[in-house]
Amino acid sequence: MTHQVSALAAALVAFMGFTSAPASAADSCDRTCLEGHIDKVLDALTSRDPRSLYFTADARFTENGQELIIGDGFWNTASARGSYSLYLADVEAGQAGFIGTMTENGVPVLLALRLRIEGQLISEIETLITRPALGPMDAPSPIPPAAVMLEQRGAPRVTFTQAVSRPASREDLRASADSYFTSLANNDGRNTPLFTEACLRLENGMATTRDPALPAPRSLAMENYMESMQLDCDEQQLSGVFGFVSEIRDRRFPLIDRERGVVLTFSFFDHSGRDRVVTLSDGSTMPNPVNTPTTLQIAELFKIDNGRIDQIEAVIIDVPYGMKSAVWDQ
């Protein structure tokens, strides 16, 4: 199947006029180069024309976990770039990443983008796009769109762009990010990854830790999941509040920036919805916030310094229960 997909991609490159060229081992791509490729792809998206880009013959593209022909999907509807832009780079692996805002036919959306660059050619494009949620009869959701909330915050957190004092190994950075998932799945509060005191998590632009909009005193005897958002990163996982997350699978760690201590991950969160209550670590219970079998596909960014998770930013979409990525399997 993979061979057939690669052959199809090569044929499409030739048929649609995309440019490919032989790669040279000397064509290394530094941070500035990788960020430049991000800008080129974003410009191609807003112009709705990928023919200005240079691809390998077997280049692949996915949108929200589904493989598409390069030039389809968001290429048909992207309107303009937004004001929130966070660039990511892994020079060692030739990976570039981006989390930022755009508009789609005039509607604000949140985009997570990953590129793989081989000898100055694009071989992989992976995107997750969070579009505004709609209520009954297409009524707007009471929660502002993710893109709007991020633009209201202004610029990305500066710590994501700062170098760490002591760069860790790729293996240690990956292990730190993975420990977050291991502790959160079937969360019972018995173990937690190492967090800094300043740790803050944003999910689709919304703070889901240390939320100042919830003035009630901190307590592990929570009546509903929303109340847990006033806890910090460590308190949340120690509380057992994530016990409704059945499994975090197909975890991938394609972009690891040792200089800045940044790891970009992709995974699927499964929620079976089987148990009607979640038992917290103090013995109290809360209603399970997930009533039906549900899967979330997530691009999650971690800032890790001295072995501790300092900041988290996630782009999340709903997908069919049990779905796997059409292409990316490691």
pLDDT of 286 reads: 86
DSSP output for 127-138: EEEEPPPB-GGG
- Report the DSSP pairing between strands 277-279 and 285-287: antiparallel
pLDDT of 223 reads: 53
pLDDT of 211 reads: 74
Ordered structural domains, the chain, with CATH: 2-156 (3.10.450.50), 170-319 (3.10.450.50)
pLDDT of 2 reads: 40
Residues 6 or more apart whose Cβ sits within 8 Å of residue 11: none
What are the φ and ψ backbone dihedral angles of 306, each rounded to 5 degrees? 55, 40
Beta bridge partners, 294, equal 271
Which structure tokens are listed for 219? 């307590």
Is 317 in contact with 64 (CB distance < 8 Å)?
yes
User: H helices within 16-118, ranges in order?
Assistant: 31-47
Q: In whole angstroms, what separates CA 20 from the centre of its chain?
A: 28
pLDDT of 28 reads: 83
Residues 6 or more apart whose Cβ sits within 8 Å of residue 233: 195, 199, 200, 201, 209, 309, 312
Q: Environment class of residue 110 by beta-carbon count within 10 Å: exposed (0-12), middle (13-18) or buried (19+)?
A: buried
The helix/strand/coil state of 291 is coil
Q: How many helices (DSSP H) and strands (DSSP E) are in the chain?
A: 5, 14
Please tell me the pTM assigned to this model: 0.88
Give pLDDT tens digits along the chain (330 positions).
443 344 444 444 443 555 554 444 346 899 999 999 999 999 999 999 999 999 999 999 999 999 999 999 999 999 999 999 999 999 999 999 999 999 999 999 999 999 999 999 999 999 999 998 754 445 555 567 899 999 999 899 999 999 999 999 999 999 999 999 999 998 888 888 999 999 999 999 989 998 766 544 444 434 567 778 888 999 999 999 999 999 999 999 999 999 999 999 999 999 999 998 899 898 988 888 888 999 999 999 999 999 999 999 999 999 999 999 888 875
